[in-house]
Amino acid sequence: MQIHQLSACELAAAIRSHQLTATDAVNACLQQIDRHNDRLKALITVCRDRALSEAQLADRALDSGEPLGPLHGVPFTAKDLTPTAGVRTTYGSSIYADHVPTQDELCIARLKAAGAILLGKTNTPEFGLGAHCTNALYGPTANPFNADYSSGGSSGGAAAAVATGMCFLSQGTDMGGSVRTPASFCNVVGLRPAAGRIPRRRKKLLWDYLETDGSLTRTVEDAALMLSVMSGEDWRDPLSVGRSAWQKPDSSGQSSKSLLASLRVGFSAGLEIAEIDAGVVQAFEQAIAHLTPWCHTVDATHPDCTMAQSSFEVLRAALLWHKMQPLYQQHPDRLSSSVRWNIEQGRGILAETLLAAEAQRDQLYLNFLNFFEQYDVLATVSASIPPFPHDQTEILEINHVPQRNIIDYLTVTYTVSLTGLPAISIPCGQLPSGFSIGLQLVGRPWGETALLAIAAAFQEILQPVSSIEIPSA
């Protein structure tokens, strides 16, 4: 196995035991960037010299016996929506083409404090709005398995970078499915933690939890390790909660078998409110069939989610209008048509409409709580569609059924976002086209520890049917 194919957990252990150096790891990633990035456009900014310099410092610290963080020497990338001190952060917009923040966002600062080395910034749609990971600054991020197709929005650059070994870990963001959809498209793991688990200082509204920071990784164990570093209370985010516990799964597999023997799973591809591509449904059902013999209970059931679409559309639109109205008024001609459409949906929303949407969100959350009285985890698809060609800018229909608007294809993921519950996407199978699909697992409130244990157990069962080779550059 080559260095870039190691998991982050394996790499961190190899560096600590002096089997590899941080410089080895950074160079391995840079070689993959040189091999793939021109074709895939996953990284919009590469910190080559800076990363190599930090790797040398990390190696000297290891040699001198200094205390080491859990990610010492592990290269990572950050989504280009997330501020990084001294490194260009464009938000995928020409308006910010030369913007260089002076301070790291908290999750980035915590990754660095744990010893991780920032390798670059990953591509994103303009301000993270759009089905396709593309912008006027850099163009589209391609799918690693077929460069004519999309990597998914909006953390598509992060997913493609992780899938091809351009980095070992990647920070992403997720409002309606922006971590989970690219994870499904690119055959990697995408974690959206519970609301407040990773504090955010950059929120426009402190009590907002629709958008969270998350991670793209190659394994569930890597996602758990990354979360343990990024999580933890910060009083500047009033929703923040304590650090997520993480314990390496029992290598004998006995703990996984014991967990599965009592596990109660409810499943529904689209929660009866989302149109799901027929091929995706078939692959999802095959994955459920693989899991069924291992679990105590696997039932076709789900919470009542009928109020989710109207609630999310109103709350998201109102939030975007509040956040982005100044940009919309100052630079209307420099925003893409998709960004303008998203912002315009929030204009003129009445207080009565907004509060009704909040009440619907309350009911949705209570419906999920009732579901979790009977079941330990909910399984759905991670994306309603397979990867689509670059020339398809929006998702307007699924199974020849017209979608109500350009965000309707995210229904199965944004429904979970509304609840604030933790969710993870793991690879679970392949389509006849050769693309992967992801299985979305939803856990109890602040239940990442249990959710990650379940996901790790499922990962082992599904690995034989979800392994796909990256084509040569």
Active site residues: 79, 154, 178
Do the beta carbons of residue 353 and residue 315 sit within 8 Å? no
Do the beta carbons of residue 184 and residue 382 sit within 8 Å? yes
Residues facing residue 438 across a β-bridge: 427
Output phi, psi for 222, to 5 deg.
-65, -40
d(CA 391, CA 205): 35
d(CA 216, CA 226): 9
Inter-CA distances, 380 with 280, 284, 389, 424, Å: 11, 8, 24, 10
